[in-house]
Amino acid sequence: MSGNNIEDRFDRKIAEMGIRIKDVDQLKVRDDVLDEITLVSLHRLAHKKWITAIGGSISTGKEANVFFAERGDEKLAIKIYRIRTANFNAMSEYIIGDRRFAGIRKTRKDIVFTWTRKEFSNLTRAYESGLPVPRPLVWDRNILVMEFLGYEERPFPQLRSAHPDSPERIYEEILTFIKDLYQKAGLVHADLSEYNILMGDRMYVIDMGQAVTPDHPRALHFLVRDIANVNRFFGHKCQVRDEREIFSEVTGITQQAKI
């Protein structure tokens, strides 16, 4: 099915559901994500009134596109994982070994569906533990609907392009997040960097799809990498703590050697 046909069908079906399309001219990447499976999921979410309006693209990542949306007066973010182009081999590294998702079939479609469910589960665990992540609302196949983090329709800036008044305070907040995520939510982010930390009224962490539980075979390796990424970014902005000390404080394990 051609991109134009997909767009025409999308517009028609969304209109039939009573869903407004905001900023049509900004919806340039939709032909890259709106395959038949995604259309079915969107229709179901619209039918259940999870979505009342869809706007322009918030971000385009390696595996997914995020769109602004609304549910009445509530501002939402819709994350759509691309089934046709997602790197399911890279995704598998974070799913295989996670006992919560054992036994899934290893097709591209099943990996993407599991990844979406996994991100929803991880966000739920973190949010219910009181951590600064977007509130997850619902998921369907390859679509995740969550709280929008931003002003008006503009998302909060990533840490990499923000200029916090006190780098020391943000650094300590991020270390506290790493510790609380591990000890309270039972998770390791596994891809923490200045690209998935947003700076708004407070610090928020996003992109939780790859997060793993501490019993994952590579959990401690991922934790070491997260700590190293944070120290690398803040190394020229403020005094950073010893990585082994941080690791031990988070896990209660004395790090004797590189994991």
Sequence ranges of the domains in the chain: 3-153, 156-251
Please write the tens of the pLDDT for every residue from 25-43.
444 445 556 677 888 888 8
Contacts of 2 (CB under 8 A, 6+ apart): none
The model carries a pTM of 0.88
Task: Based on the residue annotation, tell me whether 242 is a catalytic residue of this protein.
Answer: no
Please write the tens of the pLDDT for every residue from 180-228.
999 999 999 999 999 999 999 999 999 999 999 999 999 999 999 999 9
Task: Based on the residue annotation, tell me whether 201 is a catalytic residue of this protein.
Answer: no
Question: Given this model, what pLDDT does residue 42 score?
Answer: 85
CATH of 156-251, one of 1.10.510.10, 1.10.40.50, 3.40.50.720, 3.40.50.150: 1.10.510.10
> What are 217's two structure tokens?
């075979």
Taking residues 158-168, report their average pLDDT. Answer: 93
Token pair 């990585």 is at which residue? 243
Q: Are 181 and 126 in contact (CB under 8 A)?
A: yes
Q: Are 131 and 184 in contact (CB under 8 A)?
A: yes
CA-wise closest residue to 71 among 134, 146, 14, 9? 146
Question: Given this model, what pLDDT does residue 180 score?
Answer: 98
> What are 259's two structure tokens?
């994991």
Q: Are 106 and 91 in contact (CB under 8 A)?
A: no
Q: How far apart are CA 129 and CA 101, in angstroms?
A: 21
Q: How far apart are CA 232 and CA 234, in angstroms?
A: 6
Sign of CA dihedral 29, 30, 34, 40: positive
∠ at Cα 242 (237, 244), nearest 5°? 140
CATH number, span 3-153: 3.30.200.20
Tell me which of 207, 215, 226, 242 is the catalytic residue.
207
Tell me which of 11, 35, 180, 191 is the catalytic residue.
191
